[in-house]
Structure formats: structure tokens, C-alpha cells
Amino acid sequence: MTAAGAAPLIGAAAAFAAAFVNAIAGGGTFIAFPTLNGVLGMTEKLANATCTVGLWPGYASSVAAARKDLASIPRDALTRLIVLSVMGGAVGGALLLLTPAGIFSAVVPILLGVGTILFASGPLVNRRFNPGASQETPQGAALPVIFAVAIYNGYFGAGGGVLVMAGLAVCGLHDARRANIFKMLVQVTSNAAAVAVLAWSGIEWPVALGMMPGAIAGGWFGMRLANVMPRGLLRAIIIACGVVLTVVYTVKALR
């Protein structure tokens, strides 16, 4: 099989792993992005846009796996989240289109570094802003935060899930399982809007289409296993990958 012919299969494997990790702890972009950029040789901007399109079905399948939990959430809360996420994701996708490839390449180390720091500090943020008063749905201060996170998701995405969880924690929503469901809902809607914008731009469609079945399977099984996987070990591996990738892309940008 030629390298070009193997690209969709490589993309599918990366998408399965990324979607699986996203459903459990977040950070799947740290798997898919370097695979498309480093292994398949895409530019940073093209790899990022293709990741956004190819991984979206993984978020959708995770949300589908949690449909029973979603049914118990008030409709007005879901509507607020969806509207904010769609608006933010569309803005993020548009910003990505407007960013020249050279500038995006220079910004990637910063985005990876910020994403790694956010991911690593997630538990600390949750403890710091958790006053002990449980709420069932995000309210108040969390809403503009979620809008900002949706923009970030549409633009790059690494660490976006942690940003969502932090926004929910600020508002006192500390039920981990429910917060994880809200996180996946924000990501599936913001990325759907970004996909609608990016679909008209340069996407490596054979790879993106090959990624989709892997993302669907990974998202579904990841959400099913979200409560039994050793998250501490998984988080440690993701953080280590984030640090290594930040260093690698910083060196690359400085050359």
C-alpha cells in the first residue's frame, strides 16, 4: 500500500485513540494533531483543520452514548449551551481561516503550551473554584467562559475540554460525570459550527473521511468506559505528551 493510500488508515487509528481519550479525560488533540502533521506531513494549519473535521463525529458519538443523561438536563440549560457553543465555534473556525499558515505555525507552540498547562491545572482549578454548593446546570459566570472556550475549540481545541470544566467549576457544578457530559456537548456543538466553516476551505478530505469511523468508535467506547478507566495515569501520559510536543514545535518554529 502506498503512503497516500495508508493515510486514511493512519488517520482512522489516530482518530480512534484521540476520540477515546477525549471522552474519558480530554487531550485527544495531542494525539491526532502531531500524527497528521508529523507522520502524514501536513502543514500545521491543514492538520488542525483536518483534525477538527475528522474528530467531530467522535464528540457526536460520545454525546449519543450519554443520551439518557442528557434527557435529565433542563431544556433551557441545553439551549443556552448549544447557542453559545455554536456561535463561539463559528467564530473560532473563521479566525482559523483568516490566520496565514506561517503565523499559525508560529502560534502552534503557544497553543500547545497553553493547552498543556490548562490540562495539567484542571484538577487544581476545580478544587479552587468549588465552594461545595452543588448545581445541576451551568449558570451565570460560566456562560461567557463557555462562549470563549467555544471560540478556542473552533480555532485549535487542545485543552478546550479542561477550559469547559473550569468554567463549570467556577459556577459550582462539581458533579464530575454531569460536567463531563456538558463538556462533550459544548465540544460537539462548537466543533460542528467550526466544521461548517472549515468545510469550505482546505481540508485533506481523504484523511478526514478516514478519521470519522475511528472517531465514532473511539468516542462511543470512551464514553462507555469513562467511569472505569484509571484517569490519573491517562492524565499523566497526556501531560507528558503535551510537554514533549510543546518543546518539539517550539524548536521547529525557531529554526
**pLDDT of res. 205:** 92
- Rounded to 10 degrees, the C-alpha dihedral 245/19/114/101 comes to 70
Contact by Cβ (8 Å): 40, 168 = no
What's this model's pTM, rounded to 2 decimal places?
0.81
State the CB neighbour count (10 A cutoff) for residue 92. 28
Tens-digit pLDDT profile for the chain (255 aa)? Answer: 555 678 989 999 999 999 998 887 777 888 899 999 989 999 989 999 999 999 999 989 888 888 887 777 778 878 888 899 999 999 999 999 999 988 988 888 888 888 778 777 766 665 665 554 445 555 555 678 788 888 988 898 766 766 676 666 666 666 666 777 788 888 899 999 999 998 877 789 999 999 999 999 999 988 887 767 676 776 787 788 788 888 888 888 887
pLDDT tens digits, one per residue of 57-99? 998 988 888 888 777 777 887 888 889 999 999 999 999 999 9
**pLDDT of res. 24:** 78
**pLDDT of res. 93:** 92
Q: Where are the alpha helices (DSSP H) in 43-199?
A: 44-65, 67-70, 75-98, 101-128, 142-155, 160-170, 176-198
- Residue 221: what residue type? F
What Cα–Cα distance (Å) separates residue 115 from each residue in 9, 87, 159, 247? Answer: 27, 21, 4, 13
**pLDDT of res. 35:** 93
In what helix (H) or strand (E) does residue 149 lie, and over which residues does it extend? helix 142-155
**pLDDT of res. 159:** 64
**Domain residues of the chain, as ranges?**
3-254
Contact by Cβ (8 Å): 28, 55 = yes
**pLDDT of res. 147:** 87
